[in-house]
Amino acid sequence: MTVRVKICGITSSEQAQMAQHQGADALGLVIYEKSPRYVNLEQAAKIRASITSDCLAIVLLVNPSELLVKQVIEQVKPDFIQFHGDETPEFCHQFNFPFIRAVRMREGLDINTEVAAYSAEGGFLFDAWSDDLYGGTGHSFDWSRLPTTTDYQLILAGGLTAENVNQAVAMTKPYMVDVSGGVESSPGIKDPQKVKAFINEAKK
């Protein structure tokens, strides 16, 4: 099975169309005000309308209110919500809506315990740990910490670029790879050539 590619931090309909044209399997919209790739609900809904049915639309949230989650579900209508903060299993499950759970790879983390707590239909996204950032760090982590076999969809994120994604895929055999800063010319602006190169390398 060829690995899928998610381009995260899409900030306009034009960017969404470009990424789909280059072969992206999923697009991420960041509704988190502290992110340089932040879009509001109205912008997210507009971008969502330009994402075709053969490409997943994923909204990334960090420690959102219940109201915001409900607004995202009703107004943006994503395929999945990506909970990327410190959300509890109870919080994530209450909406009865398919989600991806981000696991930030802090020291001493017990991956099995973390995964067992969440019913994440969209899989688990493993990202680098940062004390003050929720994703978008531009740093990778030690991929050998990941399990070699899983009964869930493993999504690899953190510091991926066209230069290292082929090695990452060979080593971790993920269901999907997730990139944001690694395909940008500046925060929130995806570079078509970098997007194309990344997707080609990931799927090679």
Q: Determine whether 127 is an active site residue.
A: yes
Catalytic residue among 25, 79, 127, 178: 127
The contacts found for 185-189 with CB under 8 angstroms, 24 or more apart, are: 187/9, 187/36, 187/37, 188/9, 188/11, 188/36, 188/37, 189/11, 189/15
End-to-end alpha carbon distance in the chain:
11
- Cβ atoms of 4 and 10 within 8 Å: the answer is no
Q: Which of 94, 91, 43, 93 is nearest to 64 (CA)?
A: 91
Cβ neighbours of residue 114 under 8 Å, at least 6 residues apart? 103, 124
Q: Which of 8, 25, 79, 178 is catalytic?
A: 8
In this structure, are residues 157 and 126 in contact, taking their beta carbons and an 8 Å threshold? yes
Rounded to whole angstroms, the Cα distance separating 172 from 68 reads 34
- Give catalytic status of residue 132 as yes or no: no
Spatial distance between the Cα atoms of 101 and 60, rounded to a whole number of angstroms: 10
- Cα 117 to Cα 82: distance, rounded to the nearest angstrom: 16
Active-site amino acid positions: 8, 127
